[in-house]
Amino acid sequence: MDTKCTEFLAECVRTNEPVALLMVIENKGSSPGKTGAMMAIKDADTIAGTIGGGNLEIKAIKSALTCLAKGENKEIHYTLDDQNDHDDHSMRCGGDIRIFIKTFQPRSQLILVGAGHISLELYELGIQQDFRITVVDDREELLSNVRFPQAQRIITDNIPEALQKLNIDENCFITIATRSHDIDRLALEATVSSNAVYVGMIGSTSKIKGTFRYLLDQGITKEKISQIYAPMGLNIASRKPKEIAISILSEILLVKNEGTPEHMRQVKNILVD
């Protein structure tokens, strides 16, 4: 049973699906589920293993689903006795049980549109931050497993068409920095209405204003356009590709983690007494 549980857990992690592992870490008395018993759960209908069955397991599953929704780990404790569970015949066995819930959240996906200098630097930073990386470009000479060895996907295709085929959800972050203004504009048109939490584009003020006017002409609402990060990145006053990439990924992390663009000394406001 443990083998099925761990294999199921490993497959969910491999396919980047959210999953929770429940393990009995202490058992006292006659409570069901012996110490070390494990169960993995992806949703209410997809479960492997058991921690003892009965109403205890039903309650634990509900707690695990809540943890999955919140992206948190948690230890839960049940006291099983007649006094506390007089309406629950399946939990009248007596004893105490402690269960630890460990959640595995999907890794965020960084979609690099364009495979030039900025994207290469973003790729390196994204790998360090444990993003799943997708690189999209129409230049085969720049797309290879040598240049992007740890990318999950490398797509050599017409860029706007390739983007329209991708499954872009709220766990995706998109950066656009291709070889031309026209392709950048079309790439932005293809992704601005997606579910991505971050869509950013590099460029000058005149380029971005022209792109926004184009999007308006295509029927994209001002509300959608206002959500675009363009020019993308934080204001670190640099023109160096490595530093620009750091500013972009910092902005992505700020959005991802719901941070605020302040110095930590301002956030903490620590004063000398």
The angle formed by the CA atoms of residues 4, 11 and 113, to the nearest 5 degrees, is 175
pLDDT for 1: 59
Partnered with residue 185 across adjacent β-strands are none
DSSP 234-254: -------HHHHHHHHHHHHHH
- pLDDT tens for 57-82 read 899 999 999 999 998 999 999 877 64
- pLDDT tens for 199-249 read 999 999 999 999 999 999 999 999 999 999 999 999 998 889 999 999 999
DSSP 177-235: --SSHHHHHHHHHHHTTSS-SEEEE---HHHHHHHHHHHHHTT--HHHHHT-BSS-S--
> Dihedral of CA 80/83/89/92: which sign?
positive
Instruction: Extract the residue ranges of the chain whose pLDDT is less than 70.
Output: 1, 29-32, 81-94
**Both structure tokens of 155:** 């797509």
For residue 231, whether the previous peptide bond is cis, meaning omega lies within 30 degrees of 0, is yes
Any idea what DSSP says for residue 90? G
For the chain, list the domains and their CATH numbers. Answer: 2-104 (no CATH), 109-256 (3.40.50.720)
Q: What is the value of pTM for the model shown?
A: 0.80
